[in-house]
Amino acid sequence: MKNTHSSEINSSIGKSEKKNNKRPLRVGFPRALLYYKFYVLWTVFFETLGAKVIVSPLTNKEIKDVSVKSAPDEDCYSTKLYFGHVLFLKDKVDYFFIPRFSSDHRTDISCPKFIGLAEVLRSIFPDLPPILMPYYSKAKDGHGKIRLFKIAYSLGFKFTKNPFRILYSFVKSFRKYKQYHDDLYISEDELKRWEKDEFVFNKEISTTDGTNPFKIALVGHSYVINDSYASLRIKEMLLADNVEIITSEQLPKSVIEHQMSKLDFNMYFRYEREILGTVMHFLENETVDGILQLIVFSCGPDSIGGEMASRFSRRNQNVPLLQLTLDELSSEAGVRTRLEAFLDLIERRRKIKESEMICQ
Ligand code: SF4
């Protein structure tokens, strides 16, 4: 039944495509900030509508240089990089897609910069192609499924006149998005097994010499952890040193919420909850050798999360915490030196622990 339905829709889509041989409209999706959270959802949506999604390349030196020259000085480093990605795409697309996403939770919100960014860009660069900037906020405006349908249709009619095609694109993109999330988050059971050294997540890690590799929790915003240039290749350096990594993006939501319930205030920045919750979990359970927190220079939520993490870490010093603040002036060599010192510290601690166990 399900297949019949989707084949009917596909055939109706096919007929309308034959009538319309025009070049597909190009939607530019800057590879920065919320791209890393929502690229599956929106890429599938626009492509199923028949648009061509053009994503800017991975951040590189050219993009960074343009970003630093064009973005307001007071912006955080991640927002500055967004400017470079936008300017890279500027002459290559018919539309920009810059969602003004505030919240998908009753009380918690994401960074206010996500809401203002599209308007800021439009006012600084009036010659940009039209920006598609749907607004969604459950916390502030009580948005829910109806709002999502409205967004889907208001965007969809720019690319097709076929309402069934819009509905089909909407449903398909949400299914893919859910699948992506299911693959990204690990279950509580998986986490427990990983903590008992039953397996490793990263295929690059060798476990053949009989010793367990160092385990590090890498915490930070998804657009930092997953942007190799912005994070100064930290992930690659750790993997090259045979360090097993778990990221704050992977931790089960239940684990994060359990940690957040212990705070005597509500950490209402949605993504900062993931970061702080991961730090708290590993400080409490002591199931990693160290925690590496990537902080974005001049980020408001990170300044709160970073301070809280540092205080919690002072109370429990069994798991070392290294906080690295990243901005356009940070260098790979400087980070490498700090990372090496951190790994040396971890190694010394492990040796002390092992010798204590032998003595017992
Ligand atoms: S959360 Fe921080 S790093 Fe992210 S956009 Fe906001 S200020 Fe910048």
pLDDT in tens, 48-59: 999 999 999 999
Structure confidence at residue 11 as a pLDDT band (50, 70, 90)? very low
* CA angle centred on 213, ends 330 and 284, rounded to 5°: 75
Look at ligand 1, atom 1, and give the residue with the nearest C-alpha: 111
Tell whether the model's pLDDT for residue 46 goes beyond 60.
yes
Determine if ligand 1 sits within 6 Å of the CB of residue 274.
no
What is the arithmetic mean of pLDDT over 346-355? 88
CA distance 206 to 203: 8
CB distance 222 to ligand 1 below 6 Å: no
From 3.40.50.11890, 1.10.10.60, 3.40.50.300, 3.30.70.640, which CATH number describes the 2-184 domain? 3.40.50.11890
The pLDDT of residue 18: 47
pLDDT in tens, 58-110: 999 999 999 999 999 999 999 999 999 999 999 999 999 999 999 989 999 99
Q: pLDDT digit string (tens) for 245-263?
A: 999 999 999 999 999 999 9
Please give the number of the atom of ligand 1 that sits closest to the Cα of 272.
1
Query: Can you give the pTM of this predicted structure?
Result: 0.90
pLDDT in tens, 184-239: 999 999 999 999 999 999 888 887 777 789 999 999 999 999 999 999 999 999 99
Ligand 1 centroid – CA 83 distance (Å): 14
The ranges assigned to domains in the chain are 2-184, 188-359
- From 78, 114, 223, 303, the mutation candidate for ligand 1 (largest count of ligand atoms within 8 A of CB) is 78
What is the pLDDT at residue 5? 43
Query: In the prediction, which pLDDT does 12 show?
Result: 45
What digits encode the pLDDT tens for the residues 108-161?
999 999 999 999 999 999 999 999 999 999 999 999 999 999 999 999 999 999
pLDDT in tens, 259-308: 999 999 999 999 999 999 999 999 999 999 999 999 999 999 999 999 99
The residue whose CA is least distant from atom 2 of ligand 1 is: 299
Q: Which pLDDT score, from 0 to 100, does residue 72 have? A: 94
CA–CA separation, 88 and 35 (whole Å): 15
Whether ligand 1 lies within 6 angstroms of the CB of 113 is answered as yes
Q: Is-contact 225 246, C-beta < 8 A?
A: no
Which of 98, 109, 111, 276 has most ligand 1 atoms within 8 Å of its beta carbon, as the pocket-test mutant? 111
Q: Which CATH superfamily is domain 188-359 in?
A: Response regulator (3.40.50.2300)
Distance from the CA of 308 to the center of ligand 1, in angstroms?
A: 17
- Whether the CB-CB separation of 97 and 43 falls below 8 Å is answered with no
Indicate whether 2 pLDDT > 80. Answer: no
pLDDT > 70: percent of the chain: 94
**pLDDT of amino acid 259:** 97
Decide: 302 in ligand 1 pocket, CB within 6 A. Answer: yes
In 10 A of CB 354, how many CB atoms?
Answer: 10
Q: Is the minimum distance from the CB of 300 to ligand 1 under 6 angstroms?
A: yes
How far does the centroid of ligand 1 lie from the alpha carbon of residue 112, in Å? 8
The Å distance, Cα 77 to ligand 1 centre, comes to: 8
User: Which SS3 state, helix, strand or coil, does residue 269 take?
Assistant: strand
Query: 298: left (phi > 0), else alpha (psi -120 to 50), else beta?
Result: left
Is residue 40 predicted with pLDDT exceeding 50? yes
Please identify, by atom number, the ligand 1 atom nearest to the C-alpha of residue 271: 1
Which residue's CA is the nearest one to ligand 1's atom 6?
111
309 pLDDT band, cuts 50/70/90, is very high
pLDDT at 355: 81
What's the DSSP call for residue 338? H
Q: What is the DSSP string of 212-229?
A: PPPEEEEES-HHHHT-TT
Measured in Å, residue 276 CA sits from the centre of ligand 1 at 15
The reported pLDDT for the residue numbered 17 is 47
